[in-house]
């Protein structure tokens, strides 16, 4: 039996303006310019220009005029409560709560028959059409961040065309080249490639036949291409080197004792191959010069250099730190004066037909959307500056001297409490922004670290401990590298209360292998 119940629920939802601000906040500077251009394309009421220029507005717009800095005066800005209400909250209220704009003082309220909810709820409002946090899938296809394996494939196909293979073998070669991964390996089984040929080209090919063509492809440049595993890749490169004694020893090591070599069991290798110390050292040095990822070199190398665009610029003027936003983070946007002129035309018109009212409704939609977007950009600038100023104040010693050991323990909560915002806001800023200093460009998340207790009772940054740990490993005797328990004792002797498992965790975060794999001859 069906029942009809009445319940009262209290829920919290983000407004479209809050969503727009959140998305603009977390995109990096490199994508902000693209996002602004997208908005300007869909909203003709938004244009580049100085927002300080005086704009003539009629009564319809006076109710929506606001102080651009008014929304930043409150200290109670939190996110997801961090979208601060602007001075005139009515301008940003939901459609069902938006009041009717007041008419111009010298005009009769002839346009009161316009239902604002008809256009405020319209899906065509640009402020409600979010393109996402960054470039969409279509844009990524048109403007890749870096060159993909297409250039490698083109180079290999060109080399294939110059071989004296028949039509059948060339088709197999093209299938093999298409199966090469970005790092230069073929990881698909030859039987699976035979099935691909049968389904895609209706060609019956045996595994030995494919293997013969594979051997031809493996002779292409760069050396080591189309290998099926790392030992085969290294052997393919050794085959092209002068066949001297060192090359022969290296081929023996890779071909028969690769597992021992990968674990750096040099004594076992030396015993099994009966090598002298100099011979082993020369062979190992030769192997270490080989390229384990041939797909990332030669003509296929990274097609484009990626540059990191900082969001902040921090300069040191005789001990005084000056923080500025990157110019691309502070674009000059304004509402088009031509659109406000349309309202005057409508107010002065003697006859207000349905088509003119529809035009005015469209203009109102675009004006509201433009003002929302400009406000979100301004609030983004303010949030970025407040967050970065707080980081600079807490990590001042580092920004003055550039010494990692000067970094203080700092977590997201510390910044959130200092600037009066939610932790999620600080996280959005820290995860995608960077700052240019006199010592280089650093991502903001670099400055966040947990504290480690010392014998003196003070807390030091884990960055400081990692820096000292890296220094100890750099200075160790590579023939007898330091184990984690030895590193633990050395750090404890310096006053850092740290456990061996924490040493192992920090070592892994620094991408430093265990002591056995750091051993050198």
359 Cβ contact partners less than 8 Å away, ≥ 6 residues apart = 342, 346
| The two structure tokens encoding residue 420 | 């009066």
Query: What's residue 83's pLDDT?
Result: 40
* pLDDT higher than threshold 60 for residue 93: no
Find where tokens 């299938």 sit: 175
| The two structure tokens encoding residue 266 | 């040099």
User: How confident is residue 186, by pLDDT bands cut at 50, 70 and 90?
Assistant: very high
Query: What's residue 139's pLDDT?
Result: 35
Q: If 0-12 CB within 10 Å is exposed, 13-18 middle and 19+ buried, where does residue 85 land?
A: middle
Find where tokens 């001990």 sit: 319
Give the H/E segment covering residue 429.
helix 423-432
- Averaged over 94-117, what is the pLDDT? 40
Count other Cβ atoms within 10 Å, centred on residue 204: 9
- The C-alpha atoms of residue 24 and residue 331 are separated, in whole angstroms, by 13
Q: Tell which residue, 439, 434, 464, 438, has the closest CA to residue 451.
A: 464
Query: What's residue 8's pLDDT?
Result: 84
User: How confident is residue 210, by pLDDT bands cut at 50, 70 and 90?
Assistant: very high
Q: What is the pLDDT of residues 297-338, one digit of tens each?
A: 444 444 444 567 788 888 888 878 888 888 776 677 888 787
Query: What's residue 107's pLDDT?
Result: 41
How far is CA 451 from each of CA 409, 457, 492, 517, rounded to the nearest angstrom? 5, 11, 15, 29
User: How confident is residue 405, by pLDDT bands cut at 50, 70 and 90?
Assistant: confident
- The C-alpha atoms of residue 265 and residue 247 are separated, in whole angstroms, by 19
Better-scored residue on pLDDT, 327 or 414: 414
Q: What is the pLDDT of residues 124-169, one digit of tens each?
A: 333 334 333 333 433 333 333 444 444 788 889 989 988 888 889 9
450 Cβ contact partners less than 8 Å away, ≥ 6 residues apart = 409, 411, 461, 462
- How many residues can be counted in the chain? 521
Q: If 0-12 CB within 10 Å is exposed, 13-18 middle and 19+ buried, where does residue 13 land?
A: exposed
**CA angle centred on 242, ends 239 and 243, rounded to 5°:** 70
- The C-alpha atoms of residue 288 and residue 234 are separated, in whole angstroms, by 10
Query: What's residue 306's pLDDT?
Result: 54
What do you get for the CA distance between the two ends of the chain, in Å? 82
Query: What's residue 227's pLDDT?
Result: 92
Better-scored residue on pLDDT, 198 or 73: 198
Query: What's residue 76's pLDDT?
Result: 39
* pLDDT higher than threshold 80 for residue 105: no
Pairing of strands 333-335, 320-325: unpaired
State which of 217-231, 346-360, 424-438 shows the largest mean pLDDT: 217-231
Query: What's residue 55's pLDDT?
Result: 43
* pLDDT higher than threshold 50 for residue 238: yes
User: How confident is residue 230, by pLDDT bands cut at 50, 70 and 90?
Assistant: very high
Query: What's residue 394's pLDDT?
Result: 87
Considering only 106-110, 200-204, 356-360, 468-472, which range has the smallest mean pLDDT? Answer: 106-110
Q: If 0-12 CB within 10 Å is exposed, 13-18 middle and 19+ buried, where does residue 413 land?
A: exposed
User: Considering only the top CATH level, what class is 451-518?
Assistant: mainly alpha
- Averaged over 355-375, what is the pLDDT? 80
DSSP 460: E
* pLDDT higher than threshold 70 for residue 80: no
Annotate 151-210 with DSSP letters as a single string. HHHHHHHHHHHTS---HHHHHHHHHHHHTB-TTSBB-S-HHHHHHHHHHHH-----HHHH
Q: If 0-12 CB within 10 Å is exposed, 13-18 middle and 19+ buried, where does residue 486 land?
A: middle
Q: Tell which residue, 369, 340, 370, 358, has the closest CA to residue 118.
A: 358
All CATH 1.10.10.60 domain ranges of the chain, comma separated, are: 451-518
Give the H/E segment covering residue 372.
helix 354-394
CB crowding 304-319: b at 16 or more within 10 Å, else e: eeeeebbbbebeeeee
Considering only 33-42, 68-77, 409-418, 421-430, which range has the smallest mean pLDDT? Answer: 68-77
Query: What's residue 510's pLDDT?
Result: 86
Query: What's residue 459's pLDDT?
Result: 63
Q: If 0-12 CB within 10 Å is exposed, 13-18 middle and 19+ buried, where does residue 97 land?
A: exposed
- The C-alpha atoms of residue 496 and residue 488 are separated, in whole angstroms, by 9
Annotate 65-129 with DSSP letters as a single string. ---TTGGGS-S---SSS-S---SSGGGGS-GGGPPPPPPPTTS--TTTT--HHHHHT-TT-GGG-
402: left (phi over 0), alpha (psi -120 to 50) or beta: left
Considering only 320-329, 342-351, 480-489, which range has the smallest mean pLDDT? Answer: 342-351
Q: What is the pLDDT of residues 369-398, one digit of tens each?
A: 888 888 888 888 888 888 889 988 888 888
The mean pLDDT of the chain is 75
Query: What's residue 277's pLDDT?
Result: 86
**CA angle centred on 309, ends 307 and 311, rounded to 5°:** 165
| The two structure tokens encoding residue 80 | 């997801």
């Amino acid at each position: 039996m069906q029942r009809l119940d009445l319940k009262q629920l209290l829920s919290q939802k983000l407004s479209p303006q809050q969503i727009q601000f959140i998305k603009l906040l977390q995109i990096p500077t490199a994508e902000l310019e693209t996002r602004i251009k997208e908005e300007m394309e869909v909203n003709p009421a938004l244009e580049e220009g100085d927002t300080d220029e005086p704009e003539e507005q009629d009564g319809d717009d006076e109710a929506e005029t606001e102080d651009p800095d008014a929304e930043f005066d409150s200290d109670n800005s939190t996110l997801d409560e961090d979208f601060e209400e602007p001075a005139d909250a009515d301008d940003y209220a939901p459609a069902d709560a938006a009041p009717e704009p007041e008419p111009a003082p010298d005009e009769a309220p002839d346009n009161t028959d316009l239902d604002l909810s008809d256009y405020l709820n319209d899906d065509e409002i640009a402020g409600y059409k979010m393109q996402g946090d960054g470039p969409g899938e279509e844009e990524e296809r048109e403007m890749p961040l870096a060159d993909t394996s297409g250039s490698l494939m083109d180079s290999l196909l060109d080399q294939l065309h110059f071989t004296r293979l028949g039509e059948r073998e060339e088709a197999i070669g093209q299938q093999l080249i298409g199966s090469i991964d970005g790092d230069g390996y073929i990881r698909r089984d030859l039987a699976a490639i035979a099935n691909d040929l049968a389904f895609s080209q209706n060609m019956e090919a045996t595994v030995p036949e494919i293997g013969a063509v594979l051997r031809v492809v493996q002779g292409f440049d760069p050396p080591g291409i189309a290998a099926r595993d790392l030992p085969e890749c290294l052997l393919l490169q050794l085959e092209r080197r002068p066949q001297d004694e060192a090359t022969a020893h290296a081929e023996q090591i890779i071909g028969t004792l690769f597992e021992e070599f990968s674990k750096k069991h040099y004594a076992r290798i030396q015993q099994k191959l009966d090598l002298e110390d100099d011979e082993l050292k020369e062979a190992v040095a030769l192997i270490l010069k080989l390229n384990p990822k041939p797909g990332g070199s030669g003509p296929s190398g990274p097609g484009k250099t990626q540059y990191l665009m900082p969001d902040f610029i921090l300069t040191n003027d005789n001990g005084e730190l000056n923080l500025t936003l990157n110019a691309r983070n502070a674009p000059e946007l304004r509402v088009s004066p031509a659109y406000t002129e349309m309202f005057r035309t409508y107010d002065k018109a003697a006859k207000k037909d349905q088509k003119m009212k529809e035009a005015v409704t469209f203009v109102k939609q675009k004006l509201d959307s433009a003002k929302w977007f400009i406000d979100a950009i301004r609030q983004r600038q303010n949030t970025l500056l407040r967050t970065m100023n707080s980081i600079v104040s807490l990590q001042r010693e580092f920004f003055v001297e550039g010494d990692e050991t000067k970094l203080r323990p700092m977590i997201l909560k510390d910044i959130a409490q200092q600037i009066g915002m939610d932790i999620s806001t600080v996280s959005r800023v820290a995860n995608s922004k960077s700052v240019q200093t006199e010592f280089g460009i650093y991502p903001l998340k670099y400055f966040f670290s947990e504290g480690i207790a010392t014998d003196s009772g003070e807390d030091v940054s884990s960055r400081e401990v990692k820096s000292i740990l890296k220094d100890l490993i750099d200075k160790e005797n590579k023939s007898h590298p330091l184990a984690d328990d030895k590193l633990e004792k050395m750090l404890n002797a310096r006053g850092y209360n740290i456990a061996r498992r924490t040493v192992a965790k920090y070592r892994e975060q620094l991408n430093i292998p265990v002591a056995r794999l750091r051993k050198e001859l």
